[in-house]
Structure 1
Amino acid sequence: MTTDRIGRGAIPALKETTVDGARLRYAEAGTGDPVVLLHGWPESHRAWQHQIGPLSSRRRVLAPDWLGWGESARDTALSCDYDSEVDRIARMFDALGVDRVDLACHDYGGFLGLGFVQRHPDRVRRLAILNSRAHRTFTPPYRLLFGAFTVGSRHRPTRRLLATPPVYLVHRIGLARYLRNGSFDREKLARYLDVLRTPGGRRWYTHFWAGYEVRIRPELGARLPEITCPTTIVWGTHDPAIPLRTAEELAARIPAAELIRVDADHFLMEERPDEVTAALLRWLDRPAPN
């Protein structure tokens, strides 16, 4: 069942389904061919708050909380390694009752989405990637930071440290630049970091990082020329964690890809919502094979 479109900035009541035995919550609006919006770290469907309404005027929009984030289940029995997460997208599509979609994905969602379109090209009609490490990795300071999270989560003494209450405050301070630039307000940032406010949430968080890898994945880069669906790269050019070079490589190596630069930081959908919405509406206008 689909729902009517909603107003700009509004978020419909969440629905739920089951993926890999765990509860997955998602926002849905509009009718027609499906568009799936995959968020990144540490966000939820709310990352797309300003885009869901306008896109729902043309499509059936589905914005899930990826398992472990937002209001979806945090099940430490589920593996968070890259291959498991990418394969989980296909099972999510099945649970949502969609076959072939327009797929827009940001940050961690783009990292997974790139692997998915390479494995399942028949299931992606159009692809949009927004400020994602994609086939590469982070700038050196962020590579060291996230690498410390992964290494720390794999060893018992440091894993216990990462699961203590102060980790919430550390992240709140670390993301303060996005309060200053207007990407988030305090309430929204608190929602994103709610996972770190309970013992169970922190246990899942260390589980996530234990399965994550910051290394470059050369196999993803090698297969970029195989992506034949209409692809748009939308990029905030002031991202301190992911260089513009990544976007330029994606645009150069994916056939017929276009690059749209936005005067924004990493969380561009929230910092520059009108520009990102316009870019995605233009993306949906790109002709795609039936």
Structure 2
Amino acid sequence: MATILESQAFARQSEHIDAAWYLRSRRYASLPMSRVAYVEHGRGPAALFVHGYPLNGFQWRGALERLHKHRRCIAPDVMGLGYTETPEGQVITPESQVAMLAALLDSLHIDTVDLVANDSGGLVSQLFLARHPQRVRTLLLTNCDVDENNPPPGFLPFVALAKKGTFVDRVLVPELNDKELARSAKGLGGLTYTYPERFSDETIETYLRPLVESPLRKSQVNQYAISLATNVLVPIREDLRQWKGPARMVWGLKDTLFGVEWAEWLDRTLPGSRGVRRVEGANLFFPEEMPDLIAEEATKLWQVG
């Protein structure tokens, strides 16, 4: 069983990826449903990194820093979050995110990917696998929605605020204006990070600033939260059981939304599962905080795939 203090043997790469790197490296793909922001780093077979809510592709900066010598790493911002520009009237749901990701890969001339995902990104990735099984070589899932735990009960209070149109103004805006609140036990940092005290001002700005820039952006953040309250995973159980590619679950045990029993469910359900790695003391967004661990698990899985 892994611990958060366990040293990782995976070597760090020389190029440091920070917010400035993301700013100068950000590209846009003009797709039918959205102008999608993404970063691309590395060469070779493609790996697609899908972030959680309300984050963006910046969540995967440490993984890209370590894995770009092994894969052509693609980290997009999904519709409604990050720097992706989505027109008014575009439906934003997990299903429409799947269509967007497929269109993005088509625009980049990528046929197959290694999928790496966290939180709502794991929900979207399971749907992507069900809709496009031939496009997924391997699947690395961290804490996320699984089967009947979609949505997790702990997310429903945020959905209730989103339905009133107040989630962004009541939750995200105060944390953006008061970074200590964001790092507190009641904020995004305290609720979802292993080390909330390390949740930097720069990172908070990168995640939350684009979400409050206009009434449209606020409404889209709310819209996506509302869509995440509908269970879309139970209907794809058989699709998961039919997919035989290599899969691995890496699960933080401090997370109160997505218990490790759901990682075990995936382990039983996915025929090609390589088991579950349990990470003691790690919270929901630990993949951002522990990129060495993600890099280690990804490279092992990719060798199998």
Aligned partner of 2:141 among 129, 132, 138: 129
- Give unmatched runs, 5+ long, in structure 2: 1-12, 177-181
Maintained 8 Å contact 1:80/1:212: no
Task: Quote the residue 2:64 is aligned against.
Answer: 52
Maintained 8 Å contact 1:137/1:216: yes
Task: Tell me, yes or no, if structure 1 residue 219 matches structure 2 residue 235.
Answer: yes
**RMSD value, Cα:** 2.4
Task: Quote the residue 1:176 is aligned against.
Answer: 189
Partners of 2:171 and 2:269 in 1: CA distance: 42
Normalised by the size of structure 1, how large is the TM-score?
A: 0.85
Partners of 2:278 and 2:187 in 1: CA distance: 25
CA deviations on 1:172-210 (whole Å, 9 max, x unpaired) are 453131385356222202321114433332122223234
Maintained 8 Å contact 2:50/2:117: yes
Partners of 1:145 and 1:166 in 2: CA distance: 11
Partners of 2:198 and 2:294 in 1: CA distance: 13
State the 1:6 CA deviation: 6.8
Maintained 8 Å contact 2:36/2:77: yes
Aligned partner of 1:252 among 268, 276, 281: 268
Aligned partner of 1:190 among 205, 211, 214: 205
Task: Tell me, yes or no, if structure 1 residue 24 matches structure 2 residue 40.
Answer: no
Partners of 2:85 and 2:152 in 1: CA distance: 31
Maintained 8 Å contact 2:194/2:289: no
Maintained 8 Å contact 1:118/1:226: no
State the 1:267 CA deviation: 0.5
Q: Which gives a bigger RCO, structure 1 or 2 (Cα 8 Å, sep 6+)?
A: 2
Q: CA distance change for structure 1 residues 207 and 139 in 2, over 3 Å: closer, same or farther?
A: closer
Q: CA distance change for structure 1 residues 143 and 69 in 2, over 3 Å: closer, same or farther?
A: closer
Partners of 1:166 and 1:106 in 2: CA distance: 21
Aligned partner of 2:299 among 273, 281, 287: 281
Normalised by the size of structure 2, how large is the TM-score?
A: 0.81
Q: CA distance change for structure 1 residues 23 and 185 in 2, over 3 Å: closer, same or farther?
A: same
Amino acid at match of 2:252: G
Aligned partner of 1:95 among 89, 104, 107: 107
State the 1:84 CA deviation: 2.3
Partners of 1:187 and 1:275 in 2: CA distance: 23
Q: CA distance change for structure 1 residues 187 and 255 in 2, over 3 Å: closer, same or farther?
A: same
Aligned length: 275
Task: Quote the residue 1:84 is aligned against.
Answer: 96
Partners of 1:36 and 1:217 in 2: CA distance: 20
CA deviations on 1:108-159 (whole Å, 9 max, x unpaired) are 111011011111111111111111113232543x14324414xx52xxxx22
Amino acid at match of 1:124: V
Amino acid at match of 1:275: L
